[in-house]
Amino acid sequence: MKKSVLLIALLVSAGTVLSQVNFEKGSVSEVLAKAKTENKVVMVDVLTDWCKWCIELDNKVYSKPEIYDFANVNQINYKIDAEKGEGVEFAKKYKVQGYPTILFLDADGNEIDRIYGYVPMKDFKEMMTDYNKGINTYGDLKARLEKDPNDIEANLKFADKLMTLSELDDAKKHLNKIIEADPENKEGKTDDAKYKLASLSDKETILQNLESFISENPDSDILKEAYINLSESYFYVKNDEGNSEKWFKETLSKYPDDDMVNSSYGQYLNQRGYALMDKGTTEDNYKKGLSFIDAALPFVSGSVNEASAYYIQSKLYYNLKEYSKALESIDKSLKIFNRKLYRDHKEKIEKQLSSK
């Protein structure tokens, strides 16, 4: 009986290990050598140990069968810390400026393309699959546009590439090209181009342009992104909490139980609480901050932002000298993300408790 239980436990454990992207160990040169031997692309996840979106990538992308079924068969997968060992020079060589950055390299170490930051599983799968095939990369799209400057799909995807590189003026040219080539939106990309142009507006016009897009394109497949962008822009660009809350409520009503909407609203509430975490000078301000975190928690549950929420909650309790509650909250953060910032705060709380 004991042997059977042990066997089941081992099988479950083995299944858990296999149900994720398998990342190679060893040096960069060893990984490239293996890629050359197996004639495969290398996917390199460049990360740091403080990067919360790297944790989210592990939890919500690499753990999905749609991702690991492809990644484990078709490419060599590798992780490297940009702040440790050879990762420092590696990050400099490939000009990595934010984390996570996911590089796709050929076996000689030449860059095929990259994914910037955390992207949802569906988008990640599409890009990973394309880059393995050598399509929809920066070079491929550029070649397509040299051959046919009016290729609408290539213009849209190339504009996205340019936006991630902060080459915004060039991106706008390609987006306007789509609108000129297909003013009636027959190919279903013109509304995307109009939304992206609105999102690239300056601080003085972005709210008006996003509202106009929503009003003029009620059936657009990118409408949800416009609602989120407008809700966020009222807060982060204009610091207009009233209108931000109004648009978030409308967005939540229009897209109930949507992960992207919930995440955006949860981060907004976290930020409202964070603003009162250190700057609040009265007990009422700290309590108000706690109310924002209480509201945020259902929206960030199951994401790495839940760890952020508990950290802010802990800091607010600490400011109120409710050290036991502060400890309880920071322990919840650490269960989700074992980050030095959180460990340091826990140590601070424990010193207060031990001094009593």
- pTM of the full structure: 0.88
Q: Is 158 contained in some domain?
A: no
Q: Is 148 contained in some domain?
A: no
Given a cut of 50, whether residue 193 has pLDDT beyond it is yes
Given a cut of 80, whether residue 344 has pLDDT beyond it is yes
Write the CA distances from 299 to 108, 270, 328, integer angstroms. Answer: 44, 10, 20
Predicted pLDDT at 339: 94
Within 10 Å of residue 227's Cβ, how many Cβ atoms?
Answer: 22
Give the chain's domain count.
2
Q: Is 289 contained in some domain?
A: yes
Cβ-count burial 55-67 (b if 16+ within 10 Å, e if not): bbbbebbbebeeb
Boundary (domain end) residue, out of 133, 158, 188 = 133
Q: Is 225 contained in some domain?
A: no
Q: Is 9 contained in some domain?
A: yes
Given a cut of 90, whether residue 157 has pLDDT beyond it is yes
Average confidence (pLDDT) over 197-208: 97
Average confidence (pLDDT) over 149-170: 96
Q: Is 68 contained in some domain?
A: yes
Predicted pLDDT at 90: 98
Half-sphere exposure of 341 (CA within 13 A, CB side): 13
Given a cut of 90, whether residue 278 has pLDDT beyond it is no
Average confidence (pLDDT) over 11-38: 79
What letter represents residue 200's amino acid? L
CB 49 within 8 A of CB 120: no
What is the residue-averaged pLDDT of the chain?
93
The structure tokens listed for 345 are 């705060």
Boundary (domain end) residue, out of 106, 133, 160 = 133
Boundary (domain end) residue, out of 133, 154, 174 = 133
Q: Is 120 contained in some domain?
A: yes
Predicted pLDDT at 281: 74
R_g of the chain, CA atoms, integer Å: 23
Q: Is 103 contained in some domain?
A: yes
Predicted pLDDT at 6: 39
User: 117 lies in which domain range?
Assistant: 2-133
User: The CATH number of the domain where 261 resides is what?
Assistant: 1.25.40.10
Q: How far apart are CA 209 and CA 202, in angstroms?
A: 10
Average confidence (pLDDT) over 65-70: 97
Average confidence (pLDDT) over 45-65: 95
Predicted pLDDT at 10: 35
